[in-house]
Amino acid sequence: MTQYKIPVIPGDGIGPEIIAEGRKVLDAAGEVYGFDAEWVEYPHGAEHYLETGELLSEDTLKELSGYDAIYLGSIGDPRIPPGVLEQGILLTARFYFDQYINLRPVKLLKGVNTPLKDKGPDDIDFVVVRENTEDLYIGVGGRASAGRSKGTAEIVRNLYHVKFDLDIETDSSEIAYQIGLISRSGTERVIRYAFELAMGRGKELASVDKANVMADIYGFWREVFTSVADDYPDVKTDFNFVDAICMWFVKNPEWFDVVVTPNMFGDIITDLGAMIQGGLGLAPGGNINPDGVSMFEPIHGSAPKHRGLNKVNPIATIWAGAMLIEELGERDAANAILGAIEENLADGKVLTYDLGGHSSTSDVGDDIARRLRHS
Ligand code: IPM
Ligand code: MG
């Protein structure tokens, strides 16, 4: 029997409840498909930070480097200022492990209602490939007051190092700035991944940018996209401004098959994607480094107000678990988990409140695990 050691970070808020259901379903998949998951639990998150001051230390990151995939619940806690945990844990892991692809399926499963009138599962079935290490997320920014001031910032990536020396002079009382950066190598690799994905699907790839306004950064994105596209003459491509693609996601989601986007716009359009596929409770994501440590999570947050109530929908997390096991090579098990999720939804009897049901988080996990065992 194949053994997988999988580190799991349940995290904050509803994280532990949804991760418990994800583990339950992956354990059931292991029984059916002949693998055994050994879970290695990590306490990182708000509580651990308040007790020890550790977000995600170099030592922990080194330890996690020994695995292929991490299973993450959710991070964020009202006792801690916004951004501290998100940057110190989630973004730190994404950058440290160079998880340059954020893969977010937008698929309306049968039995789920979309807020889009007259659209169904045949219309809403695409994948967003979000760049996950660059753009406005590099964390270079600051404030300056009237007069002259200096600042430095450094970005350390596997692909490159960049140092900014900023010499700022202003007569404004105070300014704030945030710098976005994309590199040729960082852009090329994610766009290439998206083309490869498109080759295995509908051979259509839509690119997202805002090259009409931020011409330097996203004009460069287009240039790199165009040069990679030369290697894939069979893939039909187009460029979309981010504001326009929001409109098309709502009006004509059937146009899309694979969408590739810079980091910031990818963050925004995948929340929209989650809504058209039936809500945040149904939207999974994978932070992927094809040659390194990947990390799988629901795209929603820690929903502190629902914590401990056994109420929220665990399906996004269970689906993220399916993506995890697929990354480890268990494609049949992953498909079977998605199949069991679809059966649960189509049956419509064991649903959480967000889908109009009255069942609990653990009821839904039980139902999906049961269906998997009988598949
Ligand atoms: C996401 C989240 C994160 C992001 C936050 C929590 C840092 O919104 O995964 O989409 O902006 O990437
Ligand atoms: Mg987001």
Strand order in the sheet with 35-41: 35-41, 2-11, 69-74, 294-298, 284-288, 101-107, 125-131, 258-261, 204-209, 236-241
- The span from the CA of 252 to the CA of 325, in Å, is 32
Kindly list the protein residues that place their beta carbon closer than 5 angstroms to ligand 2, a single-atom ion.
Answer: 267
Q: Residue 293 corresponds to which amino acid?
A: V
φ/ψ of residue 234, rounded to 5: -85, -10
- 210, 218, 232, 367: which one is catalytic? 210
pLDDT tens digits for 320-334? 999 999 999 999 999
* Whole-number pLDDT of residue 375: 85
pTM, rounded to two decimals: 0.97
Inter-residue contact 333 to 29 (CB < 8 Å): yes
User: Is the separation of the CB atoms in 132 and 99 below 8 Å?
Assistant: yes
pLDDT tens per residue, range 73-91: 999 999 999 999 999 999 9
CB 289 within 8 A of CB 120: no
Q: Is 342 in the pocket of ligand 1 (CB under 6 A)?
A: no
Q: pLDDT tens, 24-65?
A: 999 999 999 999 999 999 999 999 999 999 999 999 999 999
Distance 269 CA to ligand 2 centre (A): 9
Q: Which is the catalytic residue, given 36, 62, 216, 243? A: 243
Give me the helix-helix angle, 15-33 and 315-327, nearest 10°: 50
pLDDT at position 211:
98
Catalytic status, residue 119? no
Asked if 22 contacts 318 with a C-beta cutoff of 8 angstroms, the reply is yes
Which atom, in ligand 1's list, is nearest to the CA of 102? 9
What's the confidence (pLDDT) of residue 112?
97
The pLDDT of residue 6 is 98
160 included as an active-site residue: no
pLDDT > 70: percent of the chain: 100
Q: In order of start, what are the domains of the chain with their CATH numbers?
A: 1-107+282-375 (3.40.718.10), 114-134+182-277 (3.40.1010), 138-179 (no CATH)
CA distance 361 to 342: 16
Among the listed residues 98, 209, 267, 367, the single catalytic one is 267
Q: Determine contact, residues 292/239, Cβ cutoff 8 Å.
A: no
